[in-house]
């Protein structure tokens, strides 16, 4: 049996494979919008394992699998034996004998890696503390729909250097753009991650306004990610000045877009003026989780299908 492909980090896929996913996403989205049925995954089953909460990820994978003709099963770790200490390796052996593809949302990246190492079927990272690769698929696809290629452009990340940021960092060399990042003292980007990407593709700024200057895309995320709730009060104080507001958007390029993976906290990391304003594409971004992940599941289960 050949080892299955997994999507645990964005960098698990080559630029060519990611471009293939985007081409398939365009076609799958267009067929869906035209009410044409596309059921390549009839009789295939997706298991979705959630150890953290979710709205978009659950809905987009579950609806996406149904729309591809297959079935999706929601498993919450609290309701399974995983929540009672069954080893991840054992769960992977069993679950992957019963379904065709698995999506996991959990804490440490090592958990999805251990699961994948013992899985007979492809495993998708639906968010870990370190990465959120499905989110960046949707974000780059959304940018391409609105503005074209990111090549040579600047993306500004304002705020916590978290899982979504780490994934943008992997995207920068793959798609040849520059990532400007500004985070408060004590929450700075891990130096090893910057070194891994190289200074051509990432620059850190003390002042978030400087990070935003000239950017084609300004993006941010919550000040406190899932799993870090106990730090919430300290983070509220530390991140007070790392809010994307109208002034920051005016410092960016005149046609800059605003993105946020959601859920958002208006009045914290972003003002209502920005997220509900004309430069914001957050609803398209959320919708594109559905279309990009359908292309991802098609690729992982069936391999490369060329668009006619």
Size of the site for ligand CP (CB under 6 A): 8
How is residue 53 written in tokens? 């909460």
Q: Which pair of structure tokens corresponds to residue 138?
A: 């949707």
Catalytic residue among 6, 56, 58, 105: 105
The torsion angle over the Cα atoms of residues 97, 299, 289 and 19, rounded to 10 degrees, is 150
Please tell me which residue in 44, 201, 289, 291 is annotated as part of the active site. 289
x/- string (CB under 6 A) for ligand NVA, residues 248-287?
Answer: -------------x--------------------------
Dist. CA 260–CA 173, nearest whole Å: 21
Q: Which residues 42-81 are close enough to bind ligand CP by CB under 6 A?
A: 54-57
H-helix or E-strand spanning residue 200: none
Helix (H, G, I), strand (E, B) or coil at 164: helix
Name which position in 164, 281, 295, 301 contacts ligand NVA (CB under 6 A): 164
Classified as helix, coil or strand, 232 is: helix
Q: How far is the CB of 239 from ligand NVA (least distance, A)?
A: 13
Query: Which residue number, 194 or 285, has a Cβ lying nearer to ligand CP?
Result: 285
Both tokens of residue 143?
A: 């940018």
Instruction: Using the minimum distance from each CB to ligand CP, give the nearer residue, 50 or 115.
Output: 50
Catalytic annotation present for 132: yes
Binding-residue pattern over the window 186 to 225 for ligand NVA, x denoting contact by CB under 6 A: -----------------------------------xx--x
DSSP 5: P
For position 163 contacting ligand NVA by CB under 6 A, the verdict is yes
- In the residue annotation, 16 being an active-site residue is answered as no
210 HSE (CA, 13 A, CB side): 8
Q: Which residues pair with 244 in a beta bridge?
A: 270
Catalytically annotated residues: 105, 132, 135, 221, 261, 289
């Amino acid at each position: 049996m050949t080892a299955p492909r997994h999507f645990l980090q964005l960098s698990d896929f080559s630029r060519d494979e990611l471009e293939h996913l985007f081409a398939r996403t365009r076609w799958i989205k267009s067929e869906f919008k035209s009410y044409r049925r596309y059921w390549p995954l009839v009789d295939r089953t997706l298991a979705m394992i959630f150890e953290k909460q979710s709205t978009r990820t659950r809905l987009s994978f579950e609806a996406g699998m149904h729309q591809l003709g297959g079935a999706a099963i929601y498993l919450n770790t609290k309701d399974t034996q995983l929540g009672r200490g069954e080893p991840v390796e054992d769960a992977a052996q069993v679950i992957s004998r019963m379904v065709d593809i698995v999506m996991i949302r959990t804490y440490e990246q090592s958990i999805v890696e251990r699961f994948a190492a013992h899985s007979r079927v492809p495993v998708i990272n639906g968010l870990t503390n370190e990465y959120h690769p499905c989110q960046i698929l949707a974000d780059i696809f959304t940018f391409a729909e609105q503005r074209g290629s990111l090549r040579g452009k600047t993306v500004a990340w304002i705020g916590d250097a978290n899982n979504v940021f780490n994934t943008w960092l992997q995207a920068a060399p793959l798609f040849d753009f520059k990532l400007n990042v500004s985070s408060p003292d004590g929450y700075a980007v891990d130096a090893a991650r910057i070194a891994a990407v190289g200074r051509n593709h990432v620059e850190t700024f003390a002042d978030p306004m400087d990070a935003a200057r000239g950017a084609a895309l300004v993006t941010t995320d919550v000040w406190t990610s899932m799993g870090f709730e106990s730090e919430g009060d300290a983070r509220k104080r530390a991140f007070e000045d790392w809010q994307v507001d109208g002034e920051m958007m005016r410092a960016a390029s005149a046609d800059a877009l605003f993105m946020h993976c959601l859920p958002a906290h208006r009045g914290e990391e972003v003002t209502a003026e920005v997220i509900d304003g004309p430069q914001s594409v957050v609803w398209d971004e959320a919708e594109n989780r559905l279309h990009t992940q359908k292309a991802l599941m098609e690729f992982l289960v069936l391999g490369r299908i060329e668009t006619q």
